[in-house]
Amino acid sequence: MPLVISVAGSTRTTSCDFQSLHITQSVVSNAGGAETVIHVPDRSWHPAAANEYIVMTSSDSVKHFAGMITEVQEEMAGLTQLRYRLTAKDYTYLFDRLMVTEIYASSGPTANLNIDTVVADITTRFTTGFSTGGIQSGLGTLAQHRFDYVYPSDACRGMADELAVLFYIDYDKVVNLRTPGSDVAPIPEIDLDTFSSSANWSNCVLSEAAANIKNRIILQGYKTKSTVAYQNVFTGDGVSKFFPLGYEPSGIATTELVATLNAVTLTNKTDNIDGSPSTTAGSTAQVFICYTNMGARTDFSPSSTETLTLTYNYMLDGGTQVDDAAAQTEMASREGGDGIHMYQVNDPGLTNYQSNDNLAIARGQTLTARYGRPVLQAEFDSLEQGWKPGQAFAMSSVYRMGGFDKTFYVYEMEKSLVNHPGTTGTPMWRYHILAGATPLPL
């Protein structure tokens, strides 16, 4: 099963310097990458940035990397020879060609806010050529999300982080959303105290850091929906068509806003979307809510005998605090005191028009899960084939780091070739693994 290297759909295996081939996959960043050197002795062609680049074994068509070249460096290797250093990014490069502009809510384009439904909708509507076949169902529900020109991978990863699930694009352009550790690592158990020469791992370095602890999160800078309704009452004058509300309504659904004219309920519309000023498209049965000027507009002028009443939930400055009591207790046992380590987040993107503080609370819980206490991490090398990010394995020791027996999750994998057998045989990879004792990488 020799390796086959293709650039822009053409096989370039004989031009590749296999010793320079280096592949990275990660759940820490949005995308994996590859680096290699291509030799062109006769100057007959050259790789170009944005060309597709694929590394695979021929007989089983397994892809070890697939994506797009993001950078090409050309060097002279002789009088007539050219050498190209290629840097490539996986298919996230193509997944992020367009940007997401959408509000996902229970009344939006999705039937509900299950994360699998939202990620599938983003994939279908804002990307081209990608499959949703790797999206698991039942991974959890989300509060309303508003995306204003956000790259699809950033939108999907942000939501996945809130629910502590994995998001990535594989080498067949399949979007994957799954539970961490649903795949078992090639070495299911590593006992650090019984290492032998036959074990396919080595050079294990353990680390634990307390330089970035966050277990009390203060979240500010966003808007939240009021728990009580506010009412504006206007008497017409036969001229005015715009009525300032003073506050931003949380929505135009009848559960959010009720508008009446002399006690007769009007139909709620969005200004400049469902209708524009100075037109006659509206009727006396409609009211248009303007979010830019925080007011209500009609396409008619209520008379002095008519009363326009609007009762609505409104948006106000939000703020909340999220504590991880168990993490604080553990830190107190290590360092003394109360164990509290505070961190502040100021993010208007946490505004939630449907429920109070749900997005902010989810962000706080994600941060405390990742940074609430020191996390044991391991780095090691392995010649066991088939390591990938997201896999899980058991690691234990009686002596190291005071003794532990934990499930570890692979965060990042780097691999390079030990040998390339030529036209027959199977290539062997050397892996460098970064893993941690929590599903969420730091």
Tens of pLDDT, residues 42-72 = 888 889 999 999 999 887 788 999 999 999 9
The DSSP code sequence of 36-94 is: EEEEETT------TT-EEEEEETTT--EEEEEEEEEEEEEE-SSS-EEEEEEEEETHHH
pLDDT at 74 over 70: yes
pTM beyond 0.85: no
Q: Is residue 392 part of a domain?
A: no
What confidence score (pLDDT) does residue 116 get?
93
What confidence score (pLDDT) does residue 198 get?
58
138 shares its domain with 287: no
Q: Is residue 301 part of a domain?
A: yes
Q: Is residue 52 part of a domain?
A: yes
| Backbone φ and ψ of 348, nearest 5° | -65, -20
Q: How far is the C-alpha of 30 from the C-alpha of 154, rounded, in Å? A: 7
Single residue among 55, 75, 90 that ends a domain in this structure:
90
* Structure tokens given for 41: 């002795």
The mean of the pLDDT values for the chain is: 89
> Are the C-beta atoms of 201 and 402 separated by less than 8 Å?
no
Q: Is residue 441 part of a domain?
A: no
22 shares its domain with 132: no
Which has more confidence, 187 or 422? 187
Q: Which residues, listed in sequence order, are joined to residue 244 by a DSSP beta bridge?
A: 295
Whole-Å CA distances, 295 to 74, 146, 176, 277, 284: 60, 22, 43, 13, 17
115 shares its domain with 164: yes
Cα–Cα nearest to 99, from 67, 122, 116: 122
364 shares its domain with 219: yes
Q: How far is the C-alpha of 371 from the C-alpha of 375, rounded, in Å? A: 8
Tokens 């970035």 — which residue? 212
pLDDT at 441 over 80: no
For the chain, percent of residues with pLDDT exceeding 90: 60
Which has more confidence, 194 or 89? 89
264 shares its domain with 316: yes
> Are the C-beta atoms of 188 and 49 separated by less than 8 Å?
no
pLDDT at 287 over 80: yes
Range 221-230 average pLDDT: 91
> Are the C-beta atoms of 288 and 271 separated by less than 8 Å?
yes
Q: Which residues, listed in sequence order, are joined to residue 317 by a DSSP beta bridge?
A: 223
What confidence score (pLDDT) does residue 422 get?
63
Cα–Cα nearest to 299, from 315, 323, 283, 316: 283
Q: How far is the C-alpha of 391 from the C-alpha of 41, rounded, in Å? A: 41
The DSSP code sequence of 370-409 is: HHSS---EEEEEE-SS---TTEEEEEEESSGGG-EEEEEE
Provide CB contacts within 8 A for 421, sequence distance 6+.
2, 427
What confidence score (pLDDT) does residue 93 get?
95
What confidence score (pLDDT) does residue 197 get?
56
The DSSP code sequence of 146-158 is: EEEEE-HHHHHHH
229 shares its domain with 354: yes
What confidence score (pLDDT) does residue 306 get?
94
Range of the domain at 427: 183-208+375-387+397-436
140 shares its domain with 187: no
pLDDT at 28 over 80: no
> What's CA 124's distance to the chain center, in Å?
16
165 shares its domain with 216: no
Least confident of 74-78, 249-253, 355-359, 421-425: 421-425
247 shares its domain with 359: yes
| Long-range contacts of the stretch 110-117 (C-beta < 8 A, 24+) | 112/141, 113/141, 113/142, 113/143, 113/144, 113/145, 114/138, 114/139, 114/140, 114/141, 114/142, 115/139, 115/140, 115/141, 115/142, 115/159, 115/160, 115/163, 115/165, 115/177, 116/177
What confidence score (pLDDT) does residue 281 get?
58
Query: In this structure, are strands 377-382 and 3-7 parallel, antiparallel, or unpaired?
Result: unpaired
What confidence score (pLDDT) does residue 109 get?
52
Total count of domains within the chain: 4
Least confident of 1-5, 204-208, 298-302: 1-5
Instruction: Provide the CATH number for the domain around residue 39.
Output: 2.30.300.10
DSSP 278: T
Range 163-186 average pLDDT: 92
> Are the C-beta atoms of 281 and 240 separated by less than 8 Å?
no
What confidence score (pLDDT) does residue 273 get?
79
Q: How far is the C-alpha of 243 from the C-alpha of 253, rounded, in Å? A: 19
Which has more confidence, 2 or 338? 338
Q: Give the model confidence (pLDDT) of 6-26 as tens digits.
A: 999 999 888 888 889 999 999
Instruction: Provide the CATH number for the domain around residue 112.
Output: 3.55.50
Q: Is residue 442 part of a domain?
A: no
Q: How confident is the model at residue 350 (pLDDT cuts 50, 70, 90)?
A: confident
Q: Is residue 9 part of a domain?
A: yes
217 shares its domain with 153: no
What confidence score (pLDDT) does residue 187 get?
94
Q: Give the model confidence (pLDDT) of 372-430 as tens digits.
A: 999 999 999 999 999 999 999 999 999 999 999 999 999 999 999 988 766 666 788 99
Q: Is residue 192 part of a domain?
A: yes
Whole-Å CA distances, 11 to 6, 15, 16, 172: 4, 9, 10, 18
The DSSP code sequence of 80-146 is: S-EEEEEEEEETHHHHTSS-EEEEE-TTSSSSS-BHHHHHHHHHHHH-SS-EEEEEPS-S-B---EE
* Structure tokens given for 145: 């999300």
Range 427-434 average pLDDT: 92
75-89, 136-150, 173-187, 417-431: range with highest mean pLDDT? 173-187
What confidence score (pLDDT) does residue 257 get?
93
Which has more confidence, 293 or 197? 293
> Are the C-beta atoms of 339 and 326 separated by less than 8 Å?
no
> Are the C-beta atoms of 53 and 39 separated by less than 8 Å?
no
pLDDT at 336 over 50: yes
What confidence score (pLDDT) does residue 253 get?
87
What confidence score (pLDDT) does residue 82 get?
87
Single residue among 158, 178, 198 that ends a domain in this structure:
178
Range 94-113 average pLDDT: 78
364 shares its domain with 402: no
33 shares its domain with 137: no
Q: Is residue 401 part of a domain?
A: yes
Strand intervals (E) in 164-266: 166-169, 174-178, 183-191, 201-207, 216-235, 242-244, 257-261, 264-265
Range 177-201 average pLDDT: 86
What confidence score (pLDDT) does residue 111 get?
47
Single residue among 54, 75, 90 that ends a domain in this structure:
90
* Structure tokens given for 214: 């966050």
